[in-house]
Amino acid sequence: MSESIENNSVEIETVDSDIVNRTRELAADAQRVVVKAGTNSLTDGASNLDTSRIDKLVGDVVGLLEQDKQVILVSSGAVGAGKGQLGFSNETIEESQALSTIGQSQIMRCYTESFDRYDQTVAQILLTENDFEDPDRFTNFTNTIETLLEWGVIPVINENDAVATEELRIGDNDMLSSSVAIGVDADLLITLTDVGGVYTDNPKENLEAERIEAVGSNYAEVQQLIDDSSTASFGGIQTKVTGARSVSEHGIPAVIAKFTEPDVLAKIGTSKAVGTIFVPTNGLSNNAETTQNDV
């Protein structure tokens, strides 16, 4: 590691390029991929579901299926779609919960219609964090996922906002998608955002903010940068970084990338440099000489 990039307060080391390249190859080789899309990526300015954006995501996902990969989609947007449907701005958690129950069926209608263009069947799964902690519920969840994937069906997962509020309060499904990736033994987590990666500052406000290409051995510095920036709007990046780091600590690479980037999933599927990639902290399984010390 010889290079670094700086923001006002923290110097971020650049991860060794060999490790970055090998992580990109690992990501490209992934067989089971969890793809997460957030509300801002799926809705328009009036909080209506944007069918052209959903069609873009669905086209990208179908591209992965054509590479014989399994895809599990984690989709936010239920509250947003509910807001758009009622033309109502939510102020309380209870209102968000109720709106999510209206918007969730709209989301599934959009995904069903969009995937129909490819004769691809989808299934809805609504989860809470408790479902990962209770062994019986967890087994039931993984049995359902395995059966759907065996049938070639795409599970579309959201938090069950009617009975849980974790993601409504803080997460935008970033922690849920991380738990799903770990729980189903995924080979890759891709978090699609309107920001497009981890930057040295909020790129929506600071045009000089630089993209951090990879997070690995520099994690402590990246975390420091994000903690320092947490009072300012930082593009909702905190939970995305926490979620991606959590899967990388389970040996799973993760990528945070821009939803609107053309062929974004195909690029990741062919080892291209996209967004910010998180290096698994327990070594790269395809190249065993990389060890914990490397990341």
Residues that bind ligand GLU (CB under 6 A): 38-39, 76-80, 100, 158-159, 161, 167-168, 172-173
Q: Shortest approach of ligand GLU to residue 156 CB, angstroms? A: 11
Q: Shortest approach of ligand GLU to residue 182 CB, angstroms? A: 19
- The partner residues of 199 in beta bridges, in order of sequence, read 211
Q: Which residue matches tokens 């019986």? A: 136
Q: In this complex, which beta carbon is closest to ligand GLU, that of residue 7 or of residue 100?
A: 100
Q: Shortest approach of ligand GLU to residue 173 CB, angstroms? A: 5
Q: In this complex, which beta carbon is closest to ligand GLU, that of residue 49 or of residue 64?
A: 49
Q: Extract the tokens encoding 35.
A: 């793809």
Distance from C-alpha of 225 to C-alpha of 222, rounded to nearest angstrom: 5
Please list, in sequence order, all residues whose beta carbon lies within 8 angstroms of the beta carbon of residue 52, skipping any fewer than 6 positions away.
none
Q: In this complex, which beta carbon is closest to ligand GLU, that of residue 99 or of residue 222?
A: 99
Q: In this complex, which beta carbon is closest to ligand GLU, that of residue 103 or of residue 253?
A: 103
Q: What angle do CA 111, 112, 118 make, to 5 degrees?
A: 95
Q: Extract the tokens encoding 190.
A: 């891709």
Q: In this complex, which beta carbon is closest to ligand GLU, that of residue 107 or of residue 247?
A: 107
Are the beta carbons of 154 and 108 closer than 8 angstroms? no
Distance from C-alpha of 275 to C-alpha of 193, rounded to nearest angstrom: 10
DSSP annotation of 261 reads: S
Distance from C-alpha of 21 to C-alpha of 263, rounded to nearest angstrom: 19
Q: Extract the tokens encoding 75.
A: 């989709």
Q: Shortest approach of ligand GLU to residue 164 CB, angstroms? A: 9
Q: Shortest approach of ligand GLU to residue 65 CB, angstroms? A: 23
Q: Shortest approach of ligand GLU to residue 229 CB, angstroms? A: 21
Q: In this complex, which beta carbon is closest to ligand GLU, that of residue 84 or of residue 203?
A: 84
The pairs formed by 84-87 with CB atoms below 8 angstroms and a separation of 24 or more are 84/43, 84/44, 84/46, 84/47, 84/48, 84/49, 85/48
Q: Shortest approach of ligand GLU to residue 160 CB, angstroms? A: 8
Q: In this complex, which beta carbon is closest to ligand GLU, that of residue 173 or of residue 218?
A: 173
Are the beta carbons of 53 and 259 closer than 8 angstroms? yes
